[in-house]
Chains A and B, each alone.
Chain A
């Protein structure tokens, strides 16, 4: 749990304060100094329009990490609500909710996101919508599964007997038991959202240029692969580092929970 919190704080700090560390304006075009190699005045070099790559990476954190955080949190809230409604709402509600979840799970999430974002037209709004709509189902599954296992717990029976409203039961008796498992799902979905945002950016359906987003930076860099190969390395490396760190933190969290439930 602690490692996850520390990591999340680091990433938030990066997204919030990263741009302040940027030596240059990430969108300032400087054609005479285009495609500069790393080192010297431009620590990671410049891109085809002479923009400082390090500054673009640092500003990009706001888009790539910030949007991924937003998308994964909306998914967390929405999916948990669906799962809890299914677990508490009786047989028909459960069936409806779970078939809806199945429907959204029937299709690879990233492909669905590409289609949705593409059809609705490129832009940050469609990007957020596409990744949220395709990113809530795992939370719903987990929340429902744990919710059903709580149904026969003494305190849940007592609460129902006392006439406590279902939203209240969900909030006070179900949610506390869900939080650890939802956190594990959330780390995975946060990582997936980072990958999804950069993938959509790379395909041209996501954050639009000249905004510095890691996927769109890769798209720019691809054209100049021969003359300036390192330009392509940096954004990819940043994505991999973030995703790897989040996944490892998620694994650690899951192992810690497994140990706790064994003890």
Chain B
């Protein structure tokens, strides 16, 4: 169980997160939605321990989050890979760092699940498409079988068709791998279709938390309603798919 309690982060004089409390159960998906500047990236940094909390705590199973070796899927797929190394090397990094051996069968299964051709991993980041790079990013995140995976706008660098495809692959893998997924995104359609719960973040505060169905049906706050209406007037059918 990932638990954030009264997490506050201040940068300079302004608070970027203010008393954020969230929970995420194992194998479940929580989407944090908000506009840019709402504090989504800071929230991820707080969970990963990359920023100092001015107040509050973040725990996984009542222990420090880093103990569960959380993984991160980044927004910019290519930048997440060292341009000088082969993708295979980068993918193996989380294992090597913890002195774990690579389970070949697992790698093959994940590659199949992510629809990655076997020889693709021997290329460099610049030699694959953005969509492929993002799927390799997911592969790296999952290779060491983490209990918690964070997704930072995992689809926003991809084109529309690739977005749907990638979102589906993530969901399918989650059923198999049973990791807890914390997704931050501005894409409410994606959040609604692929998460159990949705938390709305605005100016560093949680406006409301609800199950995905309940939120789409009836947002509890004006801001939530604005968000929902904006998203579904643009692509109502997509969100329901």
Contact = CB atoms under 8 A, between A and B. Distances in A.
A158 interface: yes
Contact of A159 (B69, B93, B98, B144): B93
A176 interface: yes
Contact of B72 (A158, A164, A176): A158
A147 to B, nearest CB: 14
A155 B97 contact: no
A173 interface: yes
Interface in B73-107: 74, 76, 79-82, 84-85, 90, 93-94, 96-98
A155 B81 contact: yes
Q: What class of interface size applies to chain A in its complex with B?
A: 10 to 19
A153 interface: yes
A155 B72 contact: no
**Most B CB atoms within 10 A — which of A154, A157, A163, A177?**
A154
Contact of A163 (B50, B74, B79, B98): B98
B93 A158 contact: yes
Interface string A140-178: 000000000000011101110111110010001100110
Interface in A87-105: none
Interface residues of B, number: 22
B193 interface: no
Contact of B97 (A165, A173, A176, A177): A165
Question: Chain B interface secondary structure, helix, strand, loop or mixed?
Answer: loop
Given A155-B90, A172-B85, A161 B80 contact: no
Contacts of A158: 72, 74, 80, 90, 93, 140
A172 B70 CA distance: 22
A173 B72 contact: no
Contacts of B69: 162-163
Contacts of A155: 79-82, 90
Given A157-B74, A163-B94, 6 more contacts: A154-B80, A155-B80, A162-B71, A168-B97, A172-B82, A177-B84
Contact of B76 (A154, A168, A173): A154
Contacts of A176: 82, 84
Contacts of B22: none
Contacts of A164: 93, 96-97
Contacts of A153: 79
Contacts of A177: 84
Contacts of A159: 93, 97
Interface string B24-63: 0000000000000000000000001010000000000000
A157 B82 CA distance: 11
A199 B71 CA distance: 56
Interface in B153-198: none
Interface in A166-216: 168, 172-173, 176-177
Given A154-B74, A157-B72, A162 B94 contact: yes
B85 to A, nearest CB: 7
Nearest to B82: A155
A172 B84 CA distance: 9
B94 to A, nearest CB: 4
B70 A173 contact: no
B81 to A, nearest CB: 6
A173 B82 contact: yes
Interface string A52-80: 00000000000000000000000000000
